[in-house]
Chains A and B, each alone.
Chain A
């Protein structure tokens, strides 16, 4: 039985350097891996966005050829959704959820690591396509028949399909881990209705991942079989149906957007009460609305397909459901505003980003409800109006929430505060840049500018808005630059944070910053929704000091006897085997065989490993 000695000492082999990170199975380290890797992909996707904006900054521009442009906007969307937004939210989840529920790690630490490596390798597989004949170029949604071999002869779409399958496996493994952890590893006394709201939203999100990703995986498999074995699933002339692709894709794709926003809702639900110094207003309503959104999210997918020729009844049903789903979403917004109302507001960067989130998400929600109206959608389908909507909810929403999360949890992860001044500068710059970039797109869409075009003619009234949007995009870039500077400078010499810099309410703030490897020396017993708050302010809780919710201090010099599993290289090995097999599916069966051998070796070593 290995015991920990000293701070963060891994009890086994992987003490430091590259091996430590290759072999880590600790949820905090894995969370940090996710956050940093996903942020790098964010920068790459951002560069792709800037290329798009420069190309569109003037009519008849010649920076990017049509073929290149198609690859750039496809990779921009694919990167931002699959390689940035999903993983970064999982990264926050990985870091915070076990701490928030009083656990020592996730339920399956090695599986957790495997999820990360599948994400990284899936992303690398996707990007290697640029060097291997061309990146995927049929949009992030890859509609058939454009994706068949006739119209997409390079291997780009094969890389897309396999990358989607690999990252999808990682996501499914992650979903299993989160569900088991949240359901089965909560601290004593923490009933489901006492869990922090971020944990609740992660629970709903991971159920969405569990049930939605398989539809996408099957779609990608069918596409790969069509392209490489002539299976005519989407080939109309042979009896197939391109619409099958769309249905299976959007059956995943719509829950996907809730996967991208529910954790963000969770972050906002944590930040607002802390900086309003009040309990969240309507905890139960936020829980129920999250579940409602999760469930309804599976019933609206064909609102992405209003214009394909569905029957009027089908259109009406999906339209109705899409409007209904605005109700639980609005409930959350009212609850956040009600939480701020009458609170002792502590204006700090996390709160600014949270309020920015609410404002921008409302705009995106309104354009979304308008799109749910079929006649409106018929007019603006595939125009920049839709681009405006999706960026208001995904950037104005998810990305603002991500920065709120960064400013909120960076101190817990690193022990230092990010600069508040730079945070505010970034916030305002980003807010201005974001709105300059995406607000005119509503108008451009109404004026008829289609999506995914590599250029446009002058003299249509589109030139000035596009130029403004390009300027706005560079202002966003400046804001991101400010963040990067803030990040690196604060890592080195940021103000020390202490355990609880925000006077917060939940269990992660009861540990040191950063927390010890084992999180809690003694698993806390929980009695309320704000265990740390009641511990600090027992008068508010009704006079009596609450029973210890935080780690009681041990006698000096004594170390807790806790068994921590050491690291393991088997997850990265297994993921690597799958990566090889993926390349093999494109190039040669020998690589498939090699990959399978490595996968088998990894599994056997995994099963036999002493932990």
Chain B
């Protein structure tokens, strides 16, 4: 009789992982496809604008490169926050989460500034195909960053009330995975849209 586990009322995860963490990875799998669809739209529509501002005319590569650097910094602060709470360091968690949120907001500020500048140059969703694909791709990415900042606020609020501990550090781990994914997507977008 092979009863290495006594039948009981507590379920043992059959894959040995936390449900929520597996859930976030599954979500990210779906998000990969979401951004792949947006990216492929941008790529196949390249060079098809019949009018209007063109990429090499108005995109500011160094400025966006700086913004990219900001997002990379935020990934470092996020991974530091996760490591902190995995050690049980609640103060460290709060400090580094705040840093991440601020960097995320800085990135969004950079995006807002850039969008304003582009719109002044005549680029919009309806100006031409470049405008349509550009704003859709970067817009949805920005929305994901914004959602991430909100998610950070939720976790931060719970952290301030002491509800986030070493035992349930997975809730920060989940947030970290999402945040790094959003950074990863930006790495691709930066290359495809601004550099190539």
Q: Which residues of A contact B (CB under 8 A)?
A: 103-104, 107-108, 172, 175-177, 179-180, 183-190, 210-215, 217-219, 221-222, 225-226, 229-233, 237-241, 244, 248, 251, 521-525, 527, 547-548, 552, 560-562, 603-604, 607
Nearest residue, chain B, Cβ from A108 = B23
Q: Are the C-beta atoms of B126 and A522 separated by less than 8 Å?
A: no
**Chain B, range 21-68, C-beta contacts under 8 Å to A:** 22-23, 26-27, 29-31, 33-34, 36-38, 41, 44-45, 48-51
Q: Tell me which of A175, A185, A210, A244 contacts B14 (CB under 8 A).
A: A185
Q: Are the C-beta atoms of A184 and B17 separated by less than 8 Å?
A: yes
Stretch of B80-88, B91-99, B128-136 lying at the A interface: B128-136
Could you tell me the distance in whole angstroms from the C-beta of B27 to the nearest C-beta in chain A? 6
21 contacts between A and B (CB under 8 A): A175-B26, A180-B23, A185-B11, A217-B34, A217-B37, A219-B37, A229-B126, A230-B126, A231-B125, A231-B131, A231-B132, A232-B128, A232-B132, A238-B128, A239-B45, A239-B128, A239-B129, A248-B41, A525-B3, A604-B154, A607-B154
CA distance A186 to B14 in the complex (A): 6
With a cutoff of 8 Å between Cβ atoms, the chain B residues found around residue A184 in the complex are 13-15, 17, 19, 22
Q: Tell me which of A103, A176, A522, A604 contacts B30 (CB under 8 A).
A: A176
Q: Are the C-beta atoms of A547 and B3 separated by less than 8 Å?
A: yes
With a cutoff of 8 Å between Cβ atoms, the chain A residues found around residue B45 in the complex are 233, 239-241, 244
Nearest residue, chain B, Cβ from A608 = B158
Q: Are the C-beta atoms of A239 and B49 separated by less than 8 Å?
A: yes
Nearest residue, chain A, Cβ from B31 = A214
Q: Are the C-beta atoms of A523 and B7 separated by less than 8 Å?
A: yes
Known: A176-B26, A232-B132, A603-B154. 8 other contacts (CB 8 A): A172-B27, A180-B26, A188-B7, A230-B126, A239-B49, A523-B11, A525-B3, A607-B154
Q: Are the C-beta atoms of B2 and A240 separated by less than 8 Å?
A: no
Q: Are the C-beta atoms of B38 and A103 separated by less than 8 Å?
A: no
CA distance A248 to B37 in the complex (A): 7
Q: Does B5 contact A (CB under 8 A)?
A: yes
Q: Are the C-beta atoms of B12 and A188 separated by less than 8 Å?
A: yes
Could you tell me the distance in whole angstroms from the C-beta of B136 to the nearest C-beta in chain A? 6
CA distance A248 to B33 in the complex (A): 11
With a cutoff of 8 Å between Cβ atoms, the chain A residues found around residue B14 in the complex are 183-188, 190
Q: Are the C-beta atoms of B132 and A233 separated by less than 8 Å?
A: yes
Q: Does B9 contact A (CB under 8 A)?
A: yes
Q: Which residues of B contact A (CB under 8 A)?
A: 1-5, 7-15, 17, 19, 22-23, 26-27, 29-31, 33-34, 36-38, 41, 44-45, 48-51, 125-126, 128-129, 131-133, 135-136, 154, 158
With a cutoff of 8 Å between Cβ atoms, the chain B residues found around residue A523 in the complex are 7-11
Could you tell me the distance in whole angstroms from the C-beta of A517 to the nearest C-beta in chain B? 13
Q: A180-B26, A525-B7 are in contact. Are A185 and B19 (CB under 8 A)?
A: yes
Q: Are the C-beta atoms of A211 and B19 separated by less than 8 Å?
A: no
With a cutoff of 8 Å between Cβ atoms, the chain A residues found around residue B128 in the complex are 232, 238-239
Q: Are the C-beta atoms of B48 and A241 separated by less than 8 Å?
A: yes
With a cutoff of 8 Å between Cβ atoms, the chain A residues found around residue B27 in the complex are 172, 176
With a cutoff of 8 Å between Cβ atoms, the chain A residues found around residue B38 in the complex are 218
Q: A184-B15, A233-B45 are in contact. Are A524 and B7 (CB under 8 A)?
A: yes
Q: Tell me which of A229, A233, A238, A524 contacts B50 (CB under 8 A).
A: A238
Nearest residue, chain B, Cβ from A527 = B2
Q: Are the C-beta atoms of B13 and A232 separated by less than 8 Å?
A: no
CA distance A239 to B129 in the complex (A): 6
Q: A176-B23, A184-B13, A222-B41 are in contact. Are A233 and B29 (CB under 8 A)?
A: no
Q: Are the C-beta atoms of B41 and A244 separated by less than 8 Å?
A: yes
Q: Tell me which of A104, A238, A603 contacts B11 (CB under 8 A).
A: A104
With a cutoff of 8 Å between Cβ atoms, the chain B residues found around residue A561 in the complex are 9
Nearest residue, chain B, Cβ from A231 = B132
With a cutoff of 8 Å between Cβ atoms, the chain A residues found around residue B49 in the complex are 238-239
Q: Which 10 A-B pairs have CB atoms at the shortest separation, nearest pair first?
A: A230-B126, A231-B132, A239-B48, A218-B37, A214-B34, A214-B33, A186-B14, A239-B129, A231-B125, A188-B5
Interface centre among B10, B17, B26 (most CB of A within 10 A): B26
Nearest residue, chain A, Cβ from B13 = A184
With a cutoff of 8 Å between Cβ atoms, the chain A residues found around residue B9 in the complex are 521-523, 560-562
Q: A183-B15, A523-B11 are in contact. Are A222 and B136 (CB under 8 A)?
A: yes
With a cutoff of 8 Å between Cβ atoms, the chain A residues found around residue B41 in the complex are 218, 222, 233, 244, 248
Could you tell me the distance in whole angstroms from the C-beta of A105 to the nearest C-beta in chain B? 10
CA distance A607 to B49 in the complex (A): 45
Q: Are the C-beta atoms of B30 and A238 separated by less than 8 Å?
A: no
